[in-house]
């Protein structure tokens, strides 16, 4: 019996500062999918929130001509209604009174949704909540795990509760900063939280809005900058003699960790610009560089085998304690002065799905194999969830 191909929707773009990086991640994932197993549907979410698809979205050249190239694209609607089992093709237009009229013109059946969305509305539980309402199969971490891992403070508190070391830090809310402008710095600067400090948004990815502070003036300035992007700021003791160590984790029967990587210019924490906009992070000729094009050392020999093993074991512990699914990347900080090791953050949908770490693992895992595992895990998780009884046979209205 010939098994039919699964319809796979890969979602990317989105309402996030990491919009373009998401496009690159999606194109890499799509290029790795086995076309003998899957019918692939690229689903682009524009900055205004509208969903589109087009046969030319398999090529990066399509996105270099935005927004003009969307004129020929098919607009779509995803309904948060169980058993819709796909995307509606629509024609939409604004009426004279400002209302929106929608005409359904067709239907695209979808079996599994793959969010390749980074940052806000992609990794924070928003799109996952939409998928849950519609009761569809989707890959990666679920709503709760996505929300926990996106919030750097809560992720670290959960890690710390599992005896995983994190840097001394403080959570600062925008409202408190404005209401207690004169005293808030005294509240932050307590115990081990002393200059130099690192200040970053609590709920954004890829080191967006990251700043350093060496005195009170710089701390106020850094907090002001963060609160233009997020309602919460994470202030932490800065490690000046630093080495970043990153590990990818995915789950087969149990969490499995990749080889480690050390970004080569990580003498200090990588900002968003250094990750994606520096000469080392530029997109390659194919237009598909993304996070994979950052200069790095994979499985560096100068890191001891004991430290590598520690990083991989702790990464799997964090993956489990934060209830992750799919392929994630976990970033650590090594203080070279003290030789102490800290959990920094977890990326539930990492750039390039961190496939480059699996390609050099032992044994190696090709991105096509990783994609298969991500899809199969999503199907298995949905099967487990579907076995639960959601509506009890009880009537309050008689």
> SS3 for 313-379, per residue?
HHHHHHHHHCCCCCCEEEEEEEECCCCEEEEEEEECCCHHHHHHHHHCCCCCCCHHHHHHHHHHHHH
- Between 67 and 3, name the one with better pLDDT: 67
Measure the CA–CA gap between 356 and 25, rounded to whole angstroms: 12
The number of beta carbons lying within 10 Å of the beta carbon of residue 283 is: 15
List, for residues 268-289, the tens digit of each pLDDT value.
555 545 554 444 443 333 445 5
- Rounded to the nearest 10 degrees, what angle do helices 19-32 and 367-386 cross at? 100
Residue labelled with tokens 């984790």: 249
Instruction: Find out whether 191 and 142 touch, Cβ atoms under 8 Å.
Output: no
Res 396: pLDDT: 75
Handedness of CA 317, 321, 325, 327 (dihedral sign): negative
Pairing of strands 169-173, 232-237: antiparallel
Measure the CA–CA gap between 3 and 220, rounded to whole angstroms: 60
Q: What are the tokens at 171?
A: 């959570």
Task: Give 2's pLDDT tier (boundaries 50, 70, 90).
Answer: low
Q: What are the tokens at 114?
A: 């793959």
Pairing of strands 6-13, 112-115: parallel
Is-cis flag, bond preceding 298, omega within 30?
A: no
Mean pLDDT score, 343-366:
93
Res 314: pLDDT: 97
pLDDT score of 293 more than 60: no
pLDDT score of 1 more than 60: no
The number of beta carbons lying within 10 Å of the beta carbon of residue 296 is: 19
What mean pLDDT, rounded, does the chain reach? Answer: 90
Res 280: pLDDT: 40
What does the chain come to in residues? 398
Through-space distance between the first and last CA atoms of the chain, rounded to whole angstroms? 50
Measure the CA–CA gap between 219 and 37, rounded to whole angstroms: 53
Res 124: pLDDT: 95
List, for residues 181-210, the tens digit of each pLDDT value.
889 999 999 999 999 999 999 998 767 789
Res 290: pLDDT: 56
Q: Domains of the chain, with CATH numbers? A: 6-141 (3.40.50.20), 154-163+240-384 (3.30.470.20), 169-237 (3.30.1490.20)
Nearest to 132 by CA among 385, 389, 387, 394: 385
Helix (H) or strand (E) segment spanning residue 234: strand 232-237
Res 100: pLDDT: 87
7: β partners: 39
Count CA atoms within 13 Å of residue 19 on its CB side.
Answer: 13
Q: What are the tokens at 355?
A: 């496939």
Is-cis flag, bond preceding 363, omega within 30?
A: yes
Residue labelled with tokens 């046969």: 55
Res 284: pLDDT: 38
Res 288: pLDDT: 52
């Amino acid at each position: 019996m010939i098994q039919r191909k699964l319809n796979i929707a890969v979602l990317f773009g989105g309402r996030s500062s990491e919009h373009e990086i998401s496009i690159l991640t999606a194109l890499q994932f799509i290029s790795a999918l086995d076309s003998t197993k899957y019918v692939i549907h690229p689903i682009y979410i524009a900055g205004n929130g509208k969903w589109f698809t087009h046969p030319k979205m398999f090529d990066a050249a399509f996105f270099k001509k935005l927004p003009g190239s969307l004129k020929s694209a098919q607009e779509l609607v995803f309904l948060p209604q169980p058993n819709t089992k796909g995307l509606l093709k629509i024609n939409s237009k604004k009426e004279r009174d400002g209302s929106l009229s929608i005409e359904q013109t067709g239907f695209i059946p979808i079996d599994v949704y793959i969010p390749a969305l980074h940052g806000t509305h992609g990794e924070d539980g928003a799109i996952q909540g939409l998928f849950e309402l519609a009761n569809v199969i989707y890959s990666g971490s679920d709503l709760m795990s996505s929300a926990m891992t996106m919030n750097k403070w809560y992720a670290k508190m959960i890690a710390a509760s599992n005896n995983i070391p994190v840097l001394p830090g403080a959570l600062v809310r925008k409202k408190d900063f404005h209401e207690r402008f004169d005293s808030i710095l005294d509240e932050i600067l307590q115990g081990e939280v002393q200059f130099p400090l690192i200040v970053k948004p609590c709920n954004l990815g890829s080191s967006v809005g990251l700043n350093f502070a060496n005195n009170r003036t710089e701390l106020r300035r850094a907090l002001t900058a963060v609160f233009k992007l997020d309602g919460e700021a994470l202030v932490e003791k800065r490690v000046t003699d630093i080495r970043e160590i990153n590990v990818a984790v995915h789950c087969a029967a149990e969490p499995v960790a990749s080889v480690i990587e050390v970004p080569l210019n990580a003498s200090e924490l990588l900002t968003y610009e250094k990750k994606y906009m520096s000469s080392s992070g530029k997109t390659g000729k194919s237009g598909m560089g993304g996070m994979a094009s950052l200069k790095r050392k994979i499985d560096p020999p100068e890191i001891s085998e004991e430290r590598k093993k520690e990083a991989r074991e702790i990464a799997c512990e964090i993956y489990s304690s934060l209830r992750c699914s799919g392929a994630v990347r976990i970033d650590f900080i090594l203080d070279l002065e003290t030789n102490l090791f800290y959990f920094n953050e977890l990326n539930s949908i990492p750039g390039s799905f961190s496939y480059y770490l699996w390609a050099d693992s032992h044994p190696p895992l090709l991105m096509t194999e990783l994609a298969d595992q991500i899809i199969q895990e999503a199907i298995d998780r949905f099967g487990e969830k579907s076995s639960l009884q959601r509506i009890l046979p009880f009537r309050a209205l008689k």
